Amino acid sequence: MKTSQLHHFVVAAEELHFPRAAQLLDISRQKLNSSIAAVELQYDKPLFDRSASEPRLTREGQRALDDARAELAKPSTPPPAPPRPPGGKAKASKGVGRGKVLKGEPKPFKKRQGR
């Protein structure tokens, strides 16, 4: 489960008003509903009682809220750095930028030693 979904659930559970929670999170109400649905799918039980005029947390919802707060309070660790590819330093290519050398003629742009 994503931490953003847990955060959305916690804010909605604290506000108990979905439009206001969506406004506080600066997301659409559909996004908030899908996040809450994902959390409910994880617990396999409804976390909000939507039958009343205002939504309320169920017992399972209260447990899920405590679990989500504990999960969000944990320090996040950055992912480990990817391993470096094997091998050494790349070698410079030779011959790039040089013209064709004809037999018996000096290489182009090569200085001749003066006597």
Q: Is the pLDDT of residue 111 over 70?
A: no
pLDDT above 70 for 99: no
Instruction: Give this prediction's pTM.
Output: 0.64
Band (pLDDT 50/70/90 cuts) for residue 2 is confident
15, containing H or E segment? helix 3-15
The closest of 27, 21, 7 to 55, measured between CA atoms, is 21
pLDDT in tens, 36-87: 999 999 989 898 988 878 889 999 999 999 999 998 888 877 778 888 877 7
Nearest-angstrom CA–CA distance, 26 and 36 = 15
**pLDDT band at residue 104 under the 50/70/90 scheme:** low
